[in-house]
Amino acid sequence: MALVTGGSGFVGGHLIRRLLADGWRVRALGRSVEALAGVQVLDAEPVAGDLSDRAALTRAMEGVEVVFHVAAHFKLWGPMSLFRRINVEGTRNVVEAADRAGVRRVVYVSAAAVVMGRPEPMRGVTEDMPLHKMPFAPYSTSKAEAEEVLLAANGRRAGFSIVAIRPPFIWGPDMPALDHMVETVRAGHFQWVAGGGQALSTCHVENLCHALILAADHGSGGQAWFVSDGEDTTLKSFLTRLLGSRGVTPKDRSVSFGVAWTMAGLMDTVWRIFRRKGEPPITRQMLRLIGKDFTIDIRRARNDLGYAPVTSPADGMRRMRAGEATPAYTAVDGHL
């Protein structure tokens, strides 16, 4: 039995389908009627609760062997207190509940961005790179803090282990961010940062799900691994193809990184002082994620987990252009 937090979301929904195809029994946590209905449609067992309720989490984990902790607050702007409450304290609650419930392993969806520090090019990054926490990046900072909480709890009980998977830009069918990008391009507000030539690693959602399931049974506890599509690209090449899958072509307009960084700082100030709703159109967190070269090395995941991408960028893009739904999964690597 597996428990998935965040099962009604983009990654969680794909993970539930893949787990069921591999023969797992799946339970999914939902904090709203809509979320519970969403996971029930996927044929997972819905359980009411959220990351703030340790008692509910413990009940949800009864009889569970592996917890896949997917749920997170993913925004590119907002108060650090909110990110910490959900991403850090929520993760702490998951760990405590899993320990009490006798869970064998917790597999955490971390983020490649946990190693991003000041905005500078980073190529071929490995797991030896230290975690970074930057005040302008509440999402990546809170994910780094959550990863520390998780991995520090590894082995606190005999037979209890915790691992983390760090994907870069996650993409695939039904990705929510694509709708926003399409709207931005159609409204004429899209501009490339520094021409869009930044080197980029990506991770198709099917490759991420494959890595998560491998991590349930392989690799030493207390470790984190980068995973990706295995083929690096550039921001402009990738986003042009991604937007093209929806029949949208971005104009060839560009702004320098320095100008964009200054604009993002000003917008952050305006949004905070005047308490404007929503996110600013550009943020320093966003620029740190896409504004400079960032590629990762996945050799350690290949060696430790036996990981290899199951979906190529070309095939993933082809299916998105064709409007194909998520394919019926076939078992690649089941659980023990």
Give the whole-angstrom CA distance, residue 226 versus residue 223. Answer: 10
Tokens of 152: 């520090």
Angle, in degrees to the nearest 10, between helices 205-215 and 10-21:
60
CA distances (Å), origin 91, targets 65, 86, 159, 201, 308: 18, 7, 20, 26, 28
Please confirm, yes or no, whether 108 is among the known catalytic residues.
Answer: no
∠ CA 141-144-147 to the nearest 5 degrees?
Answer: 150
CA distances (Å), origin 113, targets 52, 100, 123, 296, 307: 24, 30, 13, 10, 20
Q: Is 56 helix (H, G, I), strand (E, B) or coil?
A: helix
231 burial type by CB count under 10 A (0-12 exposed, 13-18 middle, 19+ buried): exposed
Q: Phi and psi of 231, rounded to 5°?
A: -135, 115
Please pick, among 108, 139, 307, 329, the residue that the annotation labels catalytic.
139
Side-chain-side CA neighbours of 319 within 13 Å: the count stands at 17
Active site residues: 139
